[in-house]
């Protein structure tokens, strides 16, 4: 292994690898900050461009796109309250609140350094512990996946903003919407109303664009006569000051990095779930939980550290077992195969310079997006000083283009506008949109896990319940669910 590490390190610092990594990082920053363009789409679009490259160089480019686009969704989330990627939803809550206080630049600094630390942590774990962790991930069965989704749903108690009943109703609505389309086991169509566009379910990205961008457009037009808020004054602060502010939250950084890495290793979980869970833990362990949602630095750090820690974790099952951890790594798997590489243990044995070189390039990419991200965000922050009408029109245009770009269907634009109306209605009723997103994200995993568990127990209720309480990991997850609900509801009862 030591020889492979040395070969990989030497390969990763070659000029061609470093150039590819840097170009991928720059492209990824711009992809992630535009609503509608996801990490998966960015990697998929650039795979053909790597055909003529050596395998290591091509993977370095794609890895840079993956990491940088995962982080840069925070830029639009913080500046405009519009998440550039699904994993940046939790970043909106405190990031935009900091922007409204004139600390948007500082919030982006927290996001950049939190993402960097989370990414480096997960890359080190990938480098040193990948085979062991991949084998542990294989111990998770259908029951554990279902309970993991249930554990995620318990986060709703923390997102309730004081009105648990409303949040639960919205969360259930999200779970129902996640059932639209084909049943994961039987193939039966549900809630599609014979509309072909709905056969594949409701696209999460399009719903996010509608929920978060359209209400902002309407609010901007309502505020067109108000004075613009000052934002970029905090960019006058030194980079060292931003780093020092991030490192002041050491326990949050460590906890969120661990959460993100673990969630990333579990195939199918994803960065959205990691950011929600890390945010929930940060709020519950904070000495001032009442500040969350109002500009808490810990909220931004938890969300961004966790979602970028997922990147290294998601590559653990891909590189060691040939099992993609999420949609992006599934596309990366295609890139490996196109270059004649077989993901799995043989990758490290037969081509260590490619496998370890790729992992080291992720380390450099995590460092590279710090200056790139801060520089891009500094100039993008000037968008706040545009006239409100122009800013609103620009956001609406980007929302329409992003929605259409997903599947090139006009119906997706209509869906986005409809969800925008729903989002604006929620804002009028002072109902949080977060539980709806959480239900959508977790619904598929919960349904798939429960369906497989029922199939394995031949639809016998007694056997099904027994399978949940006789598996050690399931018992641990059940205990976590109970504790999560208890500590989530307790502050609401006190209030």
Which of the four pLDDT bands, split at 50, 70 and 90, describes residue 343? confident
The answer to the question of residue 494 being in a domain is no
Q: Is 189 helix (H, G, I), strand (E, B) or coil?
A: strand
* Number of domains present in the structure of the chain: 1
C-alpha distances in angstroms, 164 versus 71, 266, 438?
Answer: 30, 29, 14
For 356-394, the pLDDT digits (tens) are: 889 899 999 999 988 988 888 777 767 666 777 887 888
For 177-190, the pLDDT digits (tens) are: 888 888 877 778 88
Ranking 30-44, 78-92, 126-140, 444-458 by mean pLDDT, the lowest is 126-140
Q: What is the pLDDT of residue 158?
A: 59
Phi, psi for 190 (deg, rounded to 5):
-130, 135
Q: What is the pLDDT of residue 36?
A: 65
Residue 324 structure tokens? 């993609």
CB 110 within 8 A of CB 245: yes
Q: What is the pLDDT of residue 232?
A: 46
Q: What is the pLDDT of residue 450?
A: 87
The answer to the question of residue 495 being in a domain is no
- The residue that leads in pLDDT, 495 or 463, is 463
Helix H or strand E encompassing 190: strand 189-190
Q: What is the pLDDT of residue 73?
A: 85
Which of the four pLDDT bands, split at 50, 70 and 90, describes residue 119? very high
For 469-491, the pLDDT digits (tens) are: 888 888 888 888 887 777 666 65
Q: What is the pLDDT of residue 225?
A: 47
For 312-329, the pLDDT digits (tens) are: 888 888 887 777 767 788
Q: What is the pLDDT of residue 421?
A: 92
What is the full DSSP assignment across 277-325?
HHHHHHHHH-S-GGGTTSS-HHHHHHHHHHHHHHHHHHHHHHHHHS--S
Q: What is the pLDDT of residue 76?
A: 85
The answer to the question of residue 164 being in a domain is yes
Does pLDDT of 1 surpass 70?
Answer: no
Q: What is the pLDDT of residue 226?
A: 47
Residue 21 structure tokens? 């990594």
Helix H or strand E encompassing 474: helix 472-494
Q: What is the pLDDT of residue 120?
A: 94
Ranking 77-86, 89-98, 158-167 by mean pLDDT, the lowest is 158-167
Spatial CA neighbour of 344 closest among 315, 313, 322, 314: 322
CB 467 within 8 A of CB 457: yes
Does pLDDT of 220 surpass 80?
Answer: no
Which of the four pLDDT bands, split at 50, 70 and 90, describes residue 56? confident
The pTM for the full model equals 0.78
Helix H or strand E encompassing 167: helix 164-177
> What distance in Å separates the CA atoms of residue 286 and residue 291, rounded to the nearest whole number?
9
Determine what percent of the chain is predicted with pLDDT higher than 70.
Answer: 90
The answer to the question of residue 429 being in a domain is yes
What is the full DSSP assignment across 240-268?
HHHHHHHHTTHHHHHHHHHHHHHHHHSTT
Query: What are residue 182's DSSP bridge partners?
Result: 189
Ranking 439-448, 462-471, 479-488 by mean pLDDT, the lowest is 479-488
Does pLDDT of 114 surpass 60?
Answer: yes
Residue 185 structure tokens? 């086991």
The answer to the question of residue 2 being in a domain is yes
Does pLDDT of 353 surpass 60?
Answer: yes
C-alpha distances in angstroms, 473 versus 173, 415, 460?
Answer: 29, 39, 21
- Mean predicted confidence (pLDDT) in 204-213: 82
The answer to the question of residue 376 being in a domain is yes
- For 384, the domain range is 1-225+233-489
CB 167 within 8 A of CB 161: yes
Residue 493 structure tokens? 């009862």
Distance, first Cα to last Cα, the chain:
55
The answer to the question of residue 75 being in a domain is yes
Determine what percent of the chain is predicted with pLDDT higher than 90.
Answer: 16
Q: What is the pLDDT of residue 488?
A: 62
Spatial CA neighbour of 21 closest among 79, 64, 55: 64
The answer to the question of residue 57 being in a domain is yes
Ranking 60-69, 120-129, 184-193 by mean pLDDT, the lowest is 184-193
Does pLDDT of 64 surpass 80?
Answer: yes
């Amino acid at each position: 292994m030591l020889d492979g590490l040395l070969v990989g390190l030497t390969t990763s610092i070659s000029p061609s690898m470093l150039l590819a990594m840097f170009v991928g990082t720059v492209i990824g920053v711009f992809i992630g900050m535009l609503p509608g363009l996801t990490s998966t789409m960015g990697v998929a679009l650039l795979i053909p461009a790597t055909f003529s490259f050596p395998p290591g160089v091509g993977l370095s480019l794609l890895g840079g796109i993956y990491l940088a686009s995962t982080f840069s969704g925070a830029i639009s989330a913080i500046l405009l309250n519009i998440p550039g990627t699904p994993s940046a939803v939790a970043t909106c809550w405190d990031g935009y609140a900091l922007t409204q206080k004139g600390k948007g630049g500082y919030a982006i600094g927290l996001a950049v350094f939190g993402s960097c630390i989370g990414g480096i942590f997960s890359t080190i774990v990938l480098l040193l512990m990948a085979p062991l962790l991949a084998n542990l991930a294989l111990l998770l069965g259908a029951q554990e996946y279902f309970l993991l989704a249930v554990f995620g749903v318990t986060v709703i108690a923390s997102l309730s903003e004081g009105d648990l009943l409303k949040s639960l109703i919205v969360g259930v609505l999200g779970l129902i919407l996640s059932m639209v389309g084909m049943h994961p086991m039987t193939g039966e169509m549900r809630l599609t109303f014979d509309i072909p566009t709905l056969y594949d379910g409701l696209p999460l990205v399009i719903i996010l664009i509608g929920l978060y961008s359209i209400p902002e457009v309407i609010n901007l037009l309502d505020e067109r006569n108000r004075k613009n808020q000052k934002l970029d004054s905090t960019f006058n602060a030194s980079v060292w000051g931003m780093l020092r502010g991030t490192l002041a939250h050491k326990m949050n950084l460590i906890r969120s990095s661990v959460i993100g890495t673990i969630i990333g290793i579990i195939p199918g979980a994803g960065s959205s779930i990691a950011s929600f869970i890390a945010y929930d833990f940060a709020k519950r362990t904070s000495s001032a939980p009442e500040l969350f949602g109002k500009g808490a630095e810990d909220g931004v750090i938890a969300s961004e550290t966790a979602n970028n820690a997922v990147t290294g974790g998601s590559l653990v099952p891909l590189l060691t077992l040939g099992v993609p951890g999420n949609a992006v790594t599934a596309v990366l798997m295609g890139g490996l195969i196109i270059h004649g590489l077989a993901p799995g243990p043989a990758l490290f044995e037969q081509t260590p310079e490619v496998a370890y070189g790729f992992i080291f390039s992720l380390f450099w990419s995590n460092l590279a997006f710090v200056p790139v991200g801060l520089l891009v965000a500094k100039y993008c922050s000037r968008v706040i000083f545009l006239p409100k009408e122009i800013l609103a029109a620009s956001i609406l245009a980007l929302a329409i283009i992003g929605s259409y770009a997903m599947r090139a269907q006009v119906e997706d634009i209509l869906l986005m506008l409809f969800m925008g109306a729903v989002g604006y209605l929620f804002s009028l009723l002072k109902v949080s949109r977060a539980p709806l997103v959480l239900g959508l994200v977790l619904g598929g995993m919960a349904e798939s896990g429960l369906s497989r568990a029922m199939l394995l127990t031949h639809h016998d209720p007694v056997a099904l319940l027994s399978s949940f309480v006789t598996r050690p990991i399931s018992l641990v997850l059940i205990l976590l669910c109970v504790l999560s609900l208890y500590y989530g509801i307790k502050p609401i009862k006190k209030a």
